[in-house]
Amino acid sequence: MVKIKIDNQELEVAEGTTVLQAALDNKIDVPYFCWHSKLSIAGNCRMCLVNLKGSPKPVISCRERVREGLEVDTKSPEVKKMQQGVLEFILLNHPLDCPICDQSGECPLQDNYFKFSKFPSRIEDQKIHKPKAVPLGPLVTLDDERCIVCTRCVRFCDEVTGTHELCVTERGGHSTLRTYPGAELKNPYSLCTVDICPVGALTSTDFRFKKRVWFLKSADSICTGCATGCNIKMDWDDQIVYRYRPRENEAVNQCWMCDEGRLTYKFINDKNRVLEPLVKKHGEFQRVGWDEALAFTRKRIPREAHEVSASSCVGVVSAQASCEENTALVKFLQQVSKEPVFLTTKKEIANPSHDDFLIDADKNPNSAFLKVLGKEISYARHFPKEAVVFVLDNLTEAQKKELVDARPKLVVWLASNLWEPSHWADVVLPKPTFAEQDGTFINRQNREQKTNKAFAPRGLARPVGEVLREIRLQT
């Protein structure tokens, strides 16, 4: 550890730390664009200039390392004038299109202008024009006029994904971001370049022009696309989710997430959401109220379940459902049946994507919990004949065929989405998605992680525990 001073504030920091990192760690505001904690130091933008006592000229704080007795000035009029000059230079050819820019409202360039400059442009010549709305790949669109050549995206593709798609061509004000000839920006983490772009140059094609960011609310949650459980910010408005963004958690996903996972939000808004109870009548599902759906279910559960055969009630717990939902189903069946039978289900994908970084081949967020649950209850391999069956989420194709062959007396499907016509269920009870309720999932590291309720359940969806409790009280 070394002792330094920043703006006359005495600090003790680890040797080898950069001046910028020392300042940020101690909540001292130093503007920057090109620096990123997970990328190499480029020193391109020069925005983080500071004065050092005894130094004949200013230095960029992102590259300067601390040393014993170092004294740093980040707030004097001289330093502010330097930062304003650099910012004016960066804005020289920048288009004045904040009103239509997707980054507006969460743009570091915009924020720093209001913090450190607020000066009108002095340019008298025509600004340099560059290509706009250029698709770099299937998910990322470039507006090159906004690019400030920080090279964060280039370094990300070189250092994190190792795919090397991006480069900067030309020089000076004519510098242009490009993919190498014959290459596309389509690595599994391409949308991370949008996250780290400090301006609106790289935009998500999926989110582009969908919603102004100041209308969005945000909830801390996790991605349920695979067993990794990347920590995310879920951005939503009016019960519609618009995007996931990675939330920093060094132990799980650092500050990244894959493209595949961040686009899984769409099932929350899907047109096939189950928004009210459905009961099968004459071979077709009909929409009914909760009272009718619950009455229909109660009538078919054995009233003297404790005295009936052990296989009278079956519960299918799911690696897609939260710990709370699975636990609620287990406790419910243990209360209504002497020896209930339990099976497990999960999402199955042929040839699932995976890598040695974040993408797991297991596309279920809660497989680890089912293993924990399996130490308390025994899992059966097959459906018993003529039972009452409660299913969480969805069954595999093989399970659907086996269930039909078992000729169940009643199949109750607790689901958030009606993925198929579902000839195998008799009643569908709508449950909220993980965006509409608090919950817990255990990831592949056996790490317990929380999801936070972003908004109220859509339609008539009700939590699994609440529905089963009501069935139990009346059975």
Read off the pLDDT of residues 441-458 as tens digits, 9 standing for 90 and up: 999 999 999 999 999 999
Helix extents (H) in 30-100 = 77-90
Same domain assignment for residues 9 and 38 = yes
What's the pLDDT tens digit per position in 465-475? 999 999 987 65
For position 37, what pLDDT does the model report?
A: 95
What's the CA gap between 232 and 162, in Å, rounded? Answer: 23
Same domain assignment for residues 294 and 386 = yes
For position 115, what pLDDT does the model report?
A: 83
Q: How confident is the model at residue 247 (pLDDT cuts 50, 70, 90)?
A: very high
The answer on pLDDT for 307 being more than 50 is no
Per the CB < 8 A criterion, the answer to whether 412 and 431 are in contact is no
408, 152, 229, 449: which is closest to 302 by C-alpha?
408
189, 268, 273: which is closest to 230 by C-alpha?
189
User: CA 278, 280, 286 angle in degrees (round to 5)?
Assistant: 50
Same domain assignment for residues 224 and 282 = no
- Helix (H), strand (E) at residue 5: strand 2-6
Helix axes 290-298, 464-474, angle to 10 degrees: 60
Same domain assignment for residues 40 and 163 = no
Instruction: Count CB atoms within 10 A of the CB of residue 180.
Output: 11
Per the CB < 8 A criterion, the answer to whether 441 and 222 are in contact is yes
Predicted model pTM:
0.92
* Longest pairwise C-alpha distance within the chain: 90
- Full residue range of the structural domain in which residue 365 is found: 278-474
What's the pLDDT tens digit per position in 44-67? 999 999 999 999 999 999 999 999
Same domain assignment for residues 285 and 249 = no
**The total number of structural domains that make up the chain:** 3
436, 437, 433, 431: which is closest to 462 by C-alpha?
431
In a domain, 118, yes or no: no
- Rounded mean pLDDT of 255-280? 95
> Which whole-number Å values give the CA distances from 106 to 195, 200, 210, 214, 238, in the listed order?
11, 9, 15, 8, 20
Q: What does residue 116 show for φ and ψ, rounded to 5 degrees?
A: -120, -5
Q: Which residues contact 322 (CB under 8 A, 6 or more apart)?
A: 366, 434, 437, 439, 440, 441, 451
3-state secondary structure of 53: coil
CATH classification at residue 203: 3.30.70.20
DSSP 326-390: HHHHHHHHHHH-SS-EEEEE----SS----SSS--S---TTHHHHHHHTTTSPBPSSPPTT-EEE
CA dihedral sign, ordered 312, 316, 321, 327: positive
- Rounded mean pLDDT of 17-32? 95
Name which residue leads in pLDDT, 306 or 149. 149
The answer on pLDDT for 308 being more than 70 is no
| Residue finishing a domain among 268, 300, 319 | 268
What's the CA gap between 340 and 361, in Å, rounded? Answer: 31
Same domain assignment for residues 293 and 322 = yes
The pair of three-digit structure tokens given for residue 103, joined into one six-digit string: 């980054």
Same domain assignment for residues 321 and 342 = yes
| Residue finishing a domain among 220, 243, 268 | 268
CATH classification at residue 48: 3.10.20.740
Same domain assignment for residues 218 and 306 = no
Same domain assignment for residues 445 and 468 = yes
Residue whose token pair is 């020896």: 339
What's the CA gap between 335 and 370, in Å, rounded? Answer: 20
The answer on pLDDT for 41 being more than 90 is yes
For position 304, what pLDDT does the model report?
A: 52
For position 423, what pLDDT does the model report?
A: 84
The answer on pLDDT for 345 being more than 90 is yes
Same domain assignment for residues 67 and 47 = yes
The answer on pLDDT for 1 being more than 50 is yes
- Helix (H), strand (E) at residue 195: helix 192-196
Same domain assignment for residues 264 and 389 = no
- Rounded mean pLDDT of 154-167? 98
Same domain assignment for residues 194 and 301 = no
Q: What is the DSSP letter of 223?
A: -
In a domain, 108, yes or no: no
What's the CA gap between 214 and 197, in Å, rounded? Answer: 18
- Rounded mean pLDDT of 260-286? 93
Q: Write the burial class of residue 365 (CB in 10 Å: 0-12 exposed, 13-18 middle, 19+ buried).
A: buried
Lowest mean pLDDT among 93-107, 240-254, 410-424: 410-424
Radius of gyration of the chain (CA): 28
Which residues are bridge partners to 111 per DSSP?
none
Q: What does residue 218 show for φ and ψ, rounded to 5 degrees?
A: -130, 140
CA dihedral sign, ordered 18, 60, 163, 195: positive
